[in-house]
Amino acid sequence: MSPDPNKYKFQMAIQDFQSARQKAGIQEILARITGKSTQLLSYDEVAEKLKLRARTERGVQHIPIDAIVGSIGRNTDFTRTFLPRRAGDQQRWANVKTAFLKKAQGYLRSKYIKWVMFILWWMATIVSRSHDRKSSEPSRHASLNSIQK
């Protein structure tokens, strides 16, 4: 019996989480030594300190990951480098990563199939055009022969 690929992906996601937790722990130790915080800022706390009263909707924008320093409601779940802070998030992390890997694999598979279909269509078009040229050549020769006579 062959191994279940989804179980393998889930186990890889668990290992990824454990590695990320180790990195977060090292960052925490270094932060204590250097005096720099690894915690994301709370949007509500920052807004309160700055006395922000109104929000402006700016739509969807691309923000570089390095520019993100805070979060609304989940600022204690991750470090500033988006590593997990709590061991209790392992199952959720693994589920999300496994779903991502499945979707990515399906996406790549569909892209590959579309590419192969395109190549086959393209080759069929070339063969068809080549066949059309060959089949029309005798009639051109025949018409040239009739004109020369």
Stated pTM of the model: 0.59
Q: What is the pLDDT of residues 120-138, one digit of tens each?
A: 666 666 656 655 555 555 5
| pLDDT at residue 146, as a whole number | 44
pLDDT at 61 (0 to 100): 86
pLDDT < 50: residue spans in the chain: 139-149
Cα angle 140, 145, 148 (rounded to 5 degrees) comes to 125
Residues with Cβ within 8 Å of 18's Cβ and at least 6 positions away in sequence, in order, are 90
Write the CA distances from 53 to 73, 74, 119, integer angstroms. Answer: 18, 21, 57
